[in-house]
Amino acid sequence: MGMTMTQKILAAHAGLPEVKAGQLIRAKLDMVLGNDITSPVAIREFEKEGFTGVFDKSKISMVMDHFTPNKDIKAAEQCLQCRTFAKRFDIDNFYDVGQMGVEHALLPEKGIVAAGDCIIGADSHTCTYGALGAFSTGVGSTDMAAGMATGETWFKVPEAIKVHLTGKLQPRVSGKDVILHLIGMIGVDGALYQSLEYCGEGVASLSMDDRLCIANMAIEAGAKNGIFPVDETTIAYMEGRVNRPWTAYEADPDAEYVRTIEINLSEIEPTVAYPHLPENARPISQVEDIKIDQVIIGSCTNGRLEDMAIAAEILKGQKVADHVRCIVIPATQQVFQDCIDLGYMTTFIQSGCAVSTPTCGPCLGGHMGVMANGEKCVATTNRNFVGRMGGITSEIYLASPAVAAASAIAGKIADPREV
């Protein structure tokens, strides 16, 4: 019996010639990640058990991105705890304010994660790195603590869903629309405990930013991971970033999948997920008149350069509607710098957007765009749960940066192909 791409990576990291779905394994880790919210809990567990060393200081990343720049005293204390730990163990990849970015935009950009890696992160969107052909999955803080101590963790080998892509995206349609469409098809638990393995000739037409966005939201379908094959686009992206050997794994031709989903990229419309679940996806043609109060463009899902580029293209020469607060958050310092160099910042500011240093802030209702009860937001983030971005009667409509920018101008949810 052949193995899926995910199973091959897991077998290699478990030192086994073969693994099967359902098998419990111990796997070696290439990277263990945490942020300013999850690391403090991990550090507490690590210290409580009396560990005095980490397995490899070059294979741990800590990124201060959630409640930073510190939103209050308690958040500052949590960052201080991380900083102290990172200094004590001389952690190579500790990213603080001024260098940090939203973790899942930052790590690929810096070349810290690569094809063929086995990665865990105490953040559910750690699945993002599947875009590079890595096995990468979100875990909790205790898993992070154990991973930092031993360099290993336990996994149940997942079954897989094959997502076969054909066609090519239409202008102003992006990876976000693809993943919202897919979650709409299979539901928020449609891939529970399983891998989403993308394949087909449609993959080649997707940019790395599209793939990172699609892999990022695998968790929103309940998946353990989402993974893309390694192709020319992947290799071009890793060149000049990744300074160590990496491995391209391929699924066996006779690998077993629990089901195959066909998606023709050419047929996907801009897509919006209604409150309060990402599965409430609707093509923009079926979206009613929904007046909005706020727009967020950013996050680990959509804070990369292509996201900024399409938002700037749509906002150029336009004004954000009077009753709308539009907040743009480039996900990393590099993306921020590129936005300046390419003139996007001028566009954002002249059109009436607020621009922020990198932070996860508003996505999880932390700071930098918390909503009052009853308010509505179009967000390029990944979750629209009850109370996620503020008051429990506030509403989040998930969409692409193109839809978000068009909506900011229109003051209501709008089709980016019509502005």
Segment interacting with another protein, rule: CB under 8 A, options 66-74, 252-260, 306-314, 372-380? 66-74
Longest alpha-carbon distance in the chain? 62
Strands 118-121 and 31-35: parallel
Per CB under 8 A, 143 contacts another protein: yes
Per CB under 8 A, 45 contacts another protein: yes
Per CB under 8 A, 200 contacts another protein: no
Between 245 and 392, CB nearer to another protein: 392
Burial of 232 (0-12, 13-18, 19+ CB in 10 A): exposed
Segment interacting with another protein, rule: CB under 8 A, options 38-46, 240-248, 287-295, 331-339? 38-46
Give the integer Cα–Cα distance in Å for 156 and 176: 29
Q: Of 7, 68, 128, 141, which one interacts with another protein (CB under 8 A)?
A: 141
Per CB under 8 A, 151 contacts another protein: no
Q: Taking the complex as a whole, how short is the minimal distance between the CB of residue 311 and another protein, in angstroms?
A: 25
Q: Taking the complex as a whole, how short is the minimal distance between the CB of residue 367 and another protein, in angstroms?
A: 9
Q: Of 5, 9, 27, 37, which one interacts with another protein (CB under 8 A)?
A: 37
Binders of another protein in range 217-236 (CB under 8 A): 219, 222, 224
Between 188 and 378, CB nearer to another protein: 188
Q: Taking the complex as a whole, how short is the minimal distance between the CB of residue 111 and another protein, in angstroms?
A: 24
Q: Taking the complex as a whole, how short is the minimal distance between the CB of residue 40 and another protein, in angstroms?
A: 6
- H or E stretch covering 310: helix 305-315
Per CB under 8 A, 415 contacts another protein: no
Strands 354-355 and 325-329: parallel
DSSP 291: B
Binders of another protein in range 242-301 (CB under 8 A): 277
- Confirm if 401 and 419 have CB atoms less than 8 A apart: no
Locate tokens 């958050």: which residue?
329
Locate tokens 């160099």: which residue?
341
Q: Taking the complex as a whole, how short is the minimal distance between the CB of residue 126 and another protein, in angstroms?
A: 8
- Sign of torsion over alpha carbons 46, 51, 53, 54: negative
Beta bridge partners of 349: none
| Total binding residues toward another protein, as defined by CB under 8 A | 53
Q: Residues 391, 397, 403, 407: what is their CA dihedral angle, to the nearest 10 degrees?
A: -50
Q: Of 87, 88, 90, 193, which one interacts with another protein (CB under 8 A)?
A: 193
Segment interacting with another protein, rule: CB under 8 A, options 86-94, 178-186, 216-224, 244-252? 216-224
Give the integer Cα–Cα distance in Å for 130 and 320: 35
Per CB under 8 A, 124 contacts another protein: yes
DSSP 255: B
Per CB under 8 A, 146 contacts another protein: yes
Locate tokens 């609707």: which residue?
282
Per CB under 8 A, 150 contacts another protein: yes
- Confirm if 384 and 183 have CB atoms less than 8 A apart: no
Q: Of 75, 160, 284, 327, which one interacts with another protein (CB under 8 A)?
A: 75
Q: How many residues does the chain have?
A: 419
Q: Of 149, 214, 272, 404, which one interacts with another protein (CB under 8 A)?
A: 149
- Confirm if 149 and 246 have CB atoms less than 8 A apart: no
Tokens linked to 249: 């794994």
The secondary structure of the chain in percent helix, strand, coil, rounded to multiples of 5, reads 35, 20, 45
Give the integer Cα–Cα distance in Å for 309 and 313: 6
- Sign of torsion over alpha carbons 81, 358, 66, 101: negative
Task: Name the residue type at position 115.
Answer: A
Between 146 and 242, CB nearer to another protein: 146
Per CB under 8 A, 139 contacts another protein: yes
Per CB under 8 A, 159 contacts another protein: no
**Count of CB atoms within 10 A of residue 44's CB?**
14
Q: Taking the complex as a whole, how short is the minimal distance between the CB of residue 230 and another protein, in angstroms?
A: 25
Per CB under 8 A, 7 contacts another protein: no
Binders of another protein in range 46-65 (CB under 8 A): 46, 48-50
Task: State the residues that interact with another protein by CB under 8 A.
Answer: 24, 37-38, 40-41, 44-46, 48-50, 66-67, 71-72, 74-75, 77-78, 121-124, 126, 138-143, 145-146, 149-150, 154, 188-189, 192-193, 219, 222, 224, 277, 364-366, 370, 383, 385-388, 392
